[in-house]
Amino acid sequence: MTTSRGHGYWALPLVATVVLATGCGTERAGDEAGAGRSAPGTPSAPTDFLCPGEDPAPTASADSAASPAATAAPTDHYAENHGFRVPLTLHGQNRCDGLVVTGRVERALEPLRKRGDFAPQHVREVLDGLGYRSGTTYQNGPTGVGFLIVLDDSPWCVEGVVNRDSVTADAFGGYPDGTDCEPPAGGH
């Protein structure tokens, strides 16, 4: 003979399970996942600000130039597979410091460009004279010299080209795979 008390023993765990389960999965389609909560250890977006001497007009940065390709779904996975070769963008004070160095380098190399002096050793001498002894210079086409400066006292690098049309320099924060200033040789 079964008593009504026997039904209560199995019903209590069942009711507890149902009550606990109804509290789970309260996010519904269309809700923003994690709304109202902050994930510990989630890095904040890097902040940029107007650097001294910088024009307040919006300019195309390396990020905005690369953004259409970065946001488009790659059909052949080329961009995805070669993302390790995209240099890290500088932000905040590092970006401002990079602009100072690139401006200094461009001004110092401009006389070589005006003279049509595209010898890697002459570019190297100018960079050495600025105190940038770590790095490389190389022939970049018949009328151009490429250069890469490794800044030992900061977390970034400067690369650029001197050719008959212009002197350009760009500061960046190395590469995602940790190869410092040299472009990585391979991926997966």
- Is residue 113 exposed (0-12), middle (13-18) or buried (19+ Cβ within 10 Å)? buried
Q: Is 181 helix (H, G, I), strand (E, B) or coil?
A: coil
Query: Do residues 156 and 173 touch, judged by C-beta distance below 8 A?
Result: yes
Mean pLDDT computed over 115-119: 95
Give the pLDDT of residue 155: 66
Give the pLDDT of residue 187: 60
- Is residue 158 exposed (0-12), middle (13-18) or buried (19+ Cβ within 10 Å)? buried
**Angle, alpha carbons 54-172-40 (nearest 5°):** 95
Task: Establish how many alpha carbons lie within 13 A of residue 107's alpha carbon, considering only the half-sphere containing its beta carbon.
Answer: 7
- Smallest CA-to-CA distance from 118 within 139, 88, 97 is with 139
Mean pLDDT computed over 92-107: 93
pLDDT classification of 29: cutoffs 50, 70, 90? low
Residue 148 has which token pair? 């890469």
Average model confidence (pLDDT) across the chain: 74
CB atoms within 10 A of CB 53: 9
The residue that leads in pLDDT, 179 or 185, is: 185
